[in-house]
């Protein structure tokens, strides 16, 4: 079995951003040379996440509103450590930090509307995502 690892780096302009990374992941899948396998896409930070869904601006706004309802900005015990990003940690847990997508015939095998997103909840500093393709 072959494995290939690459990294995507981000430094967002705002503390919270949703970035469509589908094209970057697709390019890596093709560059890997793997014809049949899978590709792990994982945020390497505890205040970010990765998810698969539709690239529709209304849905992205709905996701952001849903996350704010479940993990609103405010006072958290975590803030007693000197941090102020308690809600970002909880939002990351809700979105989750990774997805696995299939590679079929050398390309990502996503559904017709599926896109891969990097979700940043405590940005404006350098962060990364690992891409790890496995297969033959």
Over residues 28-48, the pLDDT tens digits come to 999 999 999 999 999 999 999
> Residue 119 burial (CB < 10 Å; 0-12/13-18/19+)?
buried
Tell me the CATH number at 75: 2.60.120.460
Range 27-53 burial, b when 16+ CB lie within 10 A, else e: ebbeebebeebbbbbbbebebbbbbbe
Number of domains in the chain: 1
Cα(103)–Cα(92) distance, rounded to whole angstroms? 26
Q: Which residue has the tokens 């496995």?
A: 134
Residues in the chain, pLDDT under 70? none
Q: Which domain holds residue 23?
A: 2-135
């Amino acid at each position: 079995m072959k494995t290939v690892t690459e990294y995507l780096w981000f430094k967002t302009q705002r503390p919270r951003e949703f970035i469509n990374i589908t094209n970057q992941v697709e390019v890596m899948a093709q560059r890997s040379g793997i014809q049949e396998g899978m590709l792990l896409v994982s945020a390497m930070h505890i205040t970010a996440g990765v998810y698969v869904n539709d690239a529709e601006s209304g849905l992205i706004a709905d996701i952001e509103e849903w996350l704010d309802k479940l993990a609103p900005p405010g006072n958290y015990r975590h803030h007693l450590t000197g941090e102020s990003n308690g809600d970002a940690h909880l939002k990351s847990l809700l979105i989750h930090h990774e997805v696995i997508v299939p590679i079929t015939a050398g390309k990502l095998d996503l559904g017709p509307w599926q896109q891969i997103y990097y979700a940043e909840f405590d940005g404006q500093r350098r962060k990364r995502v690992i891409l790890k393709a496995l297969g033959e």
